[in-house]
Amino acid sequence: MTEAALQGGLAARAIALRTGATAPAGVEEAAAAGTRERGAAQGGTLLEARGLHTYYGSSHILHGVDFRIGKGEALGLMGRNGMGKTTLIRTMLGFVKPAAGTVAVRGEDMTGGPTWKIARRGIAYVPEGRGIFPNLSVKENLLMAARAGVEGQREWTFDRVMTTFPRLSERLSHGGGQLSGGEQQMLTIGRALMTNPDLLILDEATEGLAPLIVREIWRVIREIRDTGIATVIVDKNHAAVTSLTDRSMILVKGQVVFDGPSETLRHDPETIQKHLGV
Q: Is the pTM of this model over 0.95?
A: no
Residue 137: count other Cβ atoms within 10 Å of its Cβ. 16
Is the pLDDT assigned to residue 175 strictly greater than 60? yes
Torsion of CA 84, 254, 235, 272, to 10 degrees: -160
Please tell me the predicted confidence (pLDDT) of residue 128.
87
DSSP codes joined into one string, 23-91: PPTTHHHHHHHHHHHHHHHHS-EEEEEEEEEEEETTEEEEEEEEEEEETT-EEEEE-STTSSHHHHHHH
Structural domain boundaries in the chain:
1-42
> Measured between alpha carbons, how far is 123 from 97 in angstroms, rounded to an integer?
18
Residues with Cβ within 8 Å of 201's Cβ and at least 6 positions away in sequence, in order, are 89, 93, 123, 124, 125, 126, 231, 232, 234
The confidence band for 30, taking pLDDT boundaries of 50, 70 and 90, is very low
Write the DSSP symbol of residue 250. Answer: E
Average pLDDT, the chain: 87
Please tell me the predicted confidence (pLDDT) of residue 43.
55
The confidence band for 129, taking pLDDT boundaries of 50, 70 and 90, is confident
Please tell me the predicted confidence (pLDDT) of residue 130.
80
The confidence band for 76, taking pLDDT boundaries of 50, 70 and 90, is very high
Is the pLDDT assigned to residue 57 strictly greater than 80? yes
Write the DSSP symbol of residue 127. Answer: -
Least confident span in 14-18, 94-98, 232-236, 257-261: 14-18
Is the pLDDT assigned to residue 21 strictly greater than 50? no
Give mean pLDDT, residues 68-78.
97
Please tell me the predicted confidence (pLDDT) of residue 278.
65
